[in-house]
Structure 1
Amino acid sequence: MTAIRLFKGGFGHVSLLRAAGDLVTHAHPECHIILWLAGNPGAIQVGPERVVPDSNIAVGVNSLQPHGHCFANDGAPGNFLAFYIDPRWIETHLGIEAGTPVFPSAAIPLTDELRGMIRSIIDHVFRGEGHQVLREADIEYLIETIVRGSAGETPSRAMRPVVDWRIRKAIAFMSAHVEDRVCFDALAQSVGLSRPHFFALFKEQTNLTPNLYWNTLRMEEALRQVEEHSLPLTAVACNLGFTSQGNFTRFFRDHTGVPPTLYRDATRPAA
């Protein structure tokens, strides 16, 4: 069983999620904060770190950092509050330069103050009828408190930009053809590399495999199209090169924890 409620703002969006299915290793441009609320917490793998979230530990994921979520096989669901934070908002509002990892560690300690703020957000943002601006201000204050508290005494180093022209060319091609199928053998050949060299260089330059980067681009486009309520989901699946809506639904659920139908329902404006 899965369910989702969504709240959007200038910072990005936050979802109140009930889920039990595993999430494949994936990445997204937004910074990510995952807060466990109740039920089965599962285990979240963020790069080399494995974190089991609880009432004292949240999980922080940097922009384009690979992560996945595994649950026990008993199928018991867990309740989570998940923030997806636009890096541009972080740069503008918190002064953290784009490309700088926000979270030095994936494990974020939660204080009594933070736990109280989390309960308040659930009550007022998702269950209350408060004004949009006031609810958004509550969320932004929580994000700022978590980010500043998790920074520690040692500043994070900015991630190295992609400098190899062959990888930049491959990324540009993938971005321009997100609705097509990509053959990585042909893509490697087009930039003058063998497949093994291309995969190794891509991982060295981006910290992601070409497949993972490609799925990140596809997932971003999938989210955009799913939110276009006038566009049938069968059309979205076709637009992204899936052979069936079932395959698209599986891909979407494996990356977000919910099927596209529920995600679309959660993005509908309140009546």
Structure 2
Amino acid sequence: MTTALRIAQGGFGRLALLDMDTPLVSHAHSQCHVIFKASGADSAFYVSEERLPVTDRTAILVNAWEPHYFYSEPDFPRTVYLALYIEPRWLATLHDPLRLAAHPRFFPRPCVQITPRIRKLADDLIGDLMSPIPMKQERLEIALFDLMLAVSEQFSALESIQDLMRPEGLRLPDSRIQRALNHIGDHLGQALDADRLAASAHLSRAQFFVRFRRCTGMTPHVYVNTLRAETACRRLAQADDRTSLGRLAEDLGFPDQGHFTRFIRGQIGVTPGEYRRVVQVY
């Protein structure tokens, strides 16, 4: 069973130290996502169906809204991961060019050999997170920014902005798909099957799937699940939102708490109850 050692959440996004040995379904995040091995056995993540090694010398780089998943063989040795889910808007407030971290091709390669400096920055952050004394917000944000800046300068497309602006690198807008996206955001607590979504966009089911993937890079199912998971994480972290897990499940369109618990575990690795118990809000 996966255990959350630390979870921090704030305007920067969130980060987690996860002792993980259970699978994650194909999912995505609205943030840019970076995964480091913290300790334990070497392992692998899958990004766009490509199996990529997670070792002391590599990092997994996942663009915003890019589907990825984790599969662990039965009885395989455990691994602790440092997972960063960083808001591009937060990065941009500190260094304006990093607003491009929201671009679907910000990281050209999903797996990279990290430099000794990046390894040290990651290890320093891991050490601070494991301290029994919670990190001060300023220290945490400085450590996060230094690490993300180092990763971005070394491995992103920041130095080739023109390449990011090429038509093949952009997801083209479509007013009908935008209607469907608005419908999803407004109705997360209701059934959102493909037929309903296609109808909201005034498209046939087949046309809807083609256009949706062209505009978002993912299926409607993954997109809906992403919004539900991120809404759940946000509400679970709010000290003034002590809604029962059963009510939260209902608010997000699940038939019961059991379905909701299995969904969250498949998306982020831990149960809603453990997330609420462990998360440190900044």
Q: TM-score, normalised by structure 1?
A: 0.91
For residue 118 of structure 1, what is the aligned residue in structure 2? Answer: 122
Structure 1 counterpart of 2:2, one-letter code: T
The offset of 1:77, in angstroms, is 2.2
For residue 82 of structure 2, what is the aligned residue in structure 1? Answer: 81
Structure 2 counterpart of 1:260, one-letter code: P
For residue 235 of structure 2, what is the aligned residue in structure 1? Answer: 225
Residues 1:190 and 1:139: Cα distance change in structure 2 (over 3 Å)? closer
Question: Which structure 1 residue ranges, 5 or more long, are not aligned?
Answer: none
More divergent stretch after superposition (173-182 vs 129-138) = 129-138
For residue 108 of structure 1, what is the aligned residue in structure 2? Answer: 112
Structure 2 counterpart of 1:157, one-letter code: L
Which one of the candidate residues 159, 181, 189 is aligned to 2:199?
189
Say if 2:180 is the partner of 1:170.
Answer: yes
Using the aligned pairs only, state the percent identity. 33
Which one of the candidate residues 146, 158, 183 is aligned to 1:141?
146
- How far apart, CA to CA, are the structure 2 residues paired with 1:9 and 1:232? 22
More divergent stretch after superposition (192-201 vs 57-66) = 192-201
The offset of 1:92, in angstroms, is 3.0
Contact 1:42 1:69 in 2 (8 A): no
- How far apart, CA to CA, are the structure 2 residues paired with 1:260 and 1:268? 14
Question: Which structure 2 residue ranges, 5 or more long, are not aligned?
Answer: none
Q: Secondary structure at the match of 2:98?
A: coil
Q: TM-score, normalised by structure 2?
A: 0.88
Structure 1 counterpart of 2:139, one-letter code: L
Structure 2 counterpart of 1:251, one-letter code: F
How many pairs are equivalent? 270
Q: Secondary structure at the match of 1:179?
A: coil
More divergent stretch after superposition (155-164 vs 223-232) = 155-164
Contact 1:22 1:254 in 2 (8 A): yes
Contact 1:23 1:257 in 2 (8 A): yes
- How far apart, CA to CA, are the structure 1 residues paired with 2:114 and 2:280? 32
- How far apart, CA to CA, are the structure 1 residues paired with 2:249 and 2:61? 30
Residues 1:216 and 1:174: Cα distance change in structure 2 (over 3 Å)? same
Q: In angstroms, what is the RMSD of aligned CA positions?
A: 2.1
More divergent stretch after superposition (59-68 vs 122-131) = 122-131
Q: Secondary structure at the match of 1:71?
A: coil
Say if 2:19 is the partner of 1:18.
Answer: yes
